[in-house]
Structure 1
């Protein structure tokens, strides 16, 4: 073969190989493109769009419900849509205002319901399908066989004044007008909150009366809020709370007086500073039995608080069993009398015992003062101020006598109905 023909053959073979490579590459690329780019085909046909969601409404309690607890959850809820209208009325046609959540999927009444009432509740919601749907409920609340009201007072029995100022030894009293069978249920609804925070506990004196105090005297300036949220609460034996009660007050200056039988003096402190020393004559001691009742003439040792005061007050020995016409009986009008016990112990003016004040005990149990000191102490005192009586004979002061602070804290907390 000539060199010229050999060259032509080589060139022809190279071109053929080039074409095969190019065609192979094109075919390969084409297969890749088909695998990557071919449109997917749904075996069941074209994709279908989900239909709009209809609204579903739920009302609690349901239609025909009876004896519903006024504190039970009353609610309207919507799923798959939004509430556009909720109307609740009682049997007199009065509308009950309510609260709707920001997303308009839930509603509840804004006030507690009443006892023995009939209510109608209607709601309308619109779903994503644009269709309005309505639901209704009619129900009635229970009628208690008996109800009890609670009053928040000082140990002196006077209602606590909302916004008032009281002493550092203030004890809060919750007084029910019916016996409470379920004290724990009542106590769970009675709260005392303070600023700054102060711990404390209730102590039940009897089945109608509970006292609350902290472990130590309050700090001046403390604000106190007391709430008895007992409305609608079952308190045992068919008794229900009649209404909620709430009050707030402030703790004033620290007035603490110490009456010491060793010195026959009352040392009066104002925020820790001694401001006056007052001679006194306290209980003469001993006792007398009258008509089978033993009457003590000691000024009982312990921690008292100021309960109230009056000018004048009529003091009558027959109120604690000692006849006026008996050997030690009396009935007379007394000036500038500051009461510190439930059974009638006062710091008060008594001019006839000035000679004994500061040296001899001659009273029936009260702390006698001269006119100037009695008036000064009367003006100085506020309910809840502390009076500590030390070193006297006889029995110590009891809780029921306004001796709340005389009971050690570990014993006080045992008087709670809660664990």
Structure 2
């Protein structure tokens, strides 16, 4: 394996130019007449043989395809690759100056000019020049590395032990397997994990079990230049690294009407709550239920205050159970609006009676404490309630059995 060293190369003035690529050009004797009558001289061509990849066959190349220059029976004196704006593309040359390659990916839909100069052991020079173009996708997709709450994962941020990585593509992905191959998650210490496709734009990654506090997580999307559909290529790479903070796991038990909050396995607080009243109502042909669905949620985000509007899930404000009001110390745990939040008007019911539309009501002191305590990715397990089980699209990633989760990978064997 060759070692490489960075080199921009220089264009030598007055060199002979040969438009050849993907093949070789080397030394050959040729005799030329001398201007002095009665004399002839023999001029030997350089023995240096230069090979350039890719071939100049008018076929656009992928920006990630190998572009390189090699020389046999000689050394490179300069290699210059320029883009359409005349900017020189940085390159890397091996220490023995027999090979060169670009030091950065090329762009889409651009024409590049490559000029090479080499010299053999006798000091004779040769030159080569070629032009090639890169492909121009009919469409490109960008990937965003987010939390389940839709916010970008912060580089260097701290998240909960139930954190799920969301790879959101801004275009529908036809070839999920190709897209998934561009996505990698590395953890320290290592854990078993898998991607799970919710639809053709969103892939979620989680470990089999909750992370250990202090785990370091690195996510890379090497998407640029990769084909992920018919004419669809990756727009750019993405990267984020974060760490897992203290273990925050809350158990909301409808049998006791209590929320028990554990920090690193120890009880940090016990809070009376009033959960979903149960039952359902049909509005406009849509069935709306009023349970706090059983399952494993994670903290998505929080706001103080938040405007809660029943019309957002199909229940008109002016209907019998409709509402629109400002709520303080609200910590969201589902995509369809389940929060742990303050509601002073139900303090009488907290710990004994379920009265809500599905949220977990808390008194002002407990709601504020939980709000300040929580971080995205913290776990909230809801047990012994009625109604349908929490679904994955509702932020129920951890409610999916591991075997089913692993089968949701596009690369599942």
Does the CA-based 8 Å contact 1:62-1:138 persist in structure 2? no
Aligned equivalents of 1:221 and 1:65: distance in 2?
53
2:389 counterpart of 1:399: no
Per the alignment, residue 178 of structure 1 pairs with 171
Gaps of 5+ in 2: 1-43
Match of 1:361 among 354, 357, 369: 354
2:272 counterpart of 1:279: yes
Per the alignment, residue 314 of structure 1 pairs with 307
Per the alignment, residue 27 of structure 1 pairs with none
Q: How far 1:103 sits from its partner (Å)? A: 2.2
Aligned equivalents of 1:321 and 1:335: distance in 2?
23
Q: How far 1:129 sits from its partner (Å)? A: 2.9
Does the CA-based 8 Å contact 2:46-2:119 persist in structure 1? no
Per the alignment, residue 210 of structure 2 pairs with 217
Match of 2:286 among 272, 279, 293: 293
Does the CA-based 8 Å contact 2:45-2:124 persist in structure 1? no
Q: Counterparts in 2 of 1:33-182, with a 5 A limit?
A: 54-182=47-175
Aligned equivalents of 1:63 and 1:297: distance in 2?
67
2:323 counterpart of 1:330: yes
Counterpart secondary structure, 1:159: coil
Q: How far 1:101 sits from its partner (Å)? A: 1.6
Q: How far 1:130 sits from its partner (Å)? A: 2.4
Aligned equivalents of 1:332 and 1:410: distance in 2?
41
Match of 1:226 among 194, 219, 244: 219
Does the CA-based 8 Å contact 1:302-1:406 persist in structure 2? yes
2:180 counterpart of 1:199: no
Aligned equivalents of 1:67 and 1:254: distance in 2?
52
CA RMSD of aligned residues (A): 1.3
Does the CA-based 8 Å contact 1:234-1:240 persist in structure 2? yes
2:239 counterpart of 1:250: no
Structure 1 runs, 4 residues or longer, greater than 6 Å off = none
Q: Deviations over 1:281-326 (max 9, x none)?
A: 0001111110000001010011000000000000000000000000
Q: Counterparts in 2 of 1:23-38, with a 5 A limit?
A: none
Does the CA-based 8 Å contact 2:46-2:125 persist in structure 1? no
Q: Deviations over 1:169-210 (max 9, x none)?
A: 000000011100000000000111111122211000000000
Per the alignment, residue 37 of structure 1 pairs with none
Q: How far 1:64 sits from its partner (Å)? A: 4.8
Does the CA-based 8 Å contact 1:63-1:136 persist in structure 2? no
Aligned equivalents of 1:103 and 1:320: distance in 2?
68
Q: Deviations over 1:246-268 (max 9, x none)?
A: 11111100000000011100000
Aligned equivalents of 2:396 and 2:384: distance in 1?
16
Q: How far 1:269 sits from its partner (Å)? A: 0.5
Higher Rg: 1
TM-score, length basis structure 1? 0.86
Gaps of 5+ in 1: 1-50
TM-score, length basis structure 2? 0.88
Aligned equivalents of 1:54 and 1:336: distance in 2?
78
2:405 counterpart of 1:412: yes
Does the CA-based 8 Å contact 1:192-1:227 persist in structure 2? yes
2:246 counterpart of 1:268: no
2:339 counterpart of 1:351: no
Counterpart secondary structure, 1:187: helix
Structure 1, 121-130 or 327-336: larger mean CA deviation: 121-130
Q: How far 1:65 sits from its partner (Å)? A: 3.4
Does the CA-based 8 Å contact 2:46-2:126 persist in structure 1? no
Q: How many residues align?
A: 369
Counterpart secondary structure, 2:410: coil
Does the CA-based 8 Å contact 1:306-1:385 persist in structure 2? yes
Q: Deviations over 1:29-88 (max 9, x none)?
A: xxxxxxxxxxxxxxxxxxxxxx99921111111235332111111111111222121110
